[in-house]
Amino acid sequence: MGYSPRAFILHSDVLFKFGKMLKQAGFVFKVLIISTVLSWLIKSAGSSVAIPATATNALILVFVPTLIVAIALGWRNYFYSRSQT
């Protein structure tokens, strides 16, 4: 007894979704590992770096991540809009 065409399509769709799920799980695992290593580095090496507690350093610490994300999103938007024309 063989597969009907409809059963084969459903089976291949399930395999495609499973493969996509594995890719996403791999990405989440990579982010978890990188986050763990970064946290460990901050915990172990962070205490040896003497950064004075000033208002300027606090502002830098708050605004630099925001600026990095804004630049990355602007860069992405610029190249996305150029590829659409």
| Same-domain check for residues 31 and 4 | yes
Range of the structural domain that residue 14 is part of: 1-50
Q: How many residues does the chain have?
A: 85
Cβ neighbours of residue 69 closer than 8 Å, sequence gap 6 or more: none
| Same-domain check for residues 45 and 67 | no
% the chain with pLDDT above 90: 42
| Same-domain check for residues 44 and 4 | yes
pLDDT confidence tier of residue 79, bands split at 50, 70 and 90: confident
What's the pLDDT at 70? 97
| Same-domain check for residues 73 and 40 | no
| Same-domain check for residues 62 and 25 | no
Number of domains in the chain: 2
User: pLDDT digit string (tens) for 17-46?
Assistant: 777 777 888 889 999 999 999 999 888 887
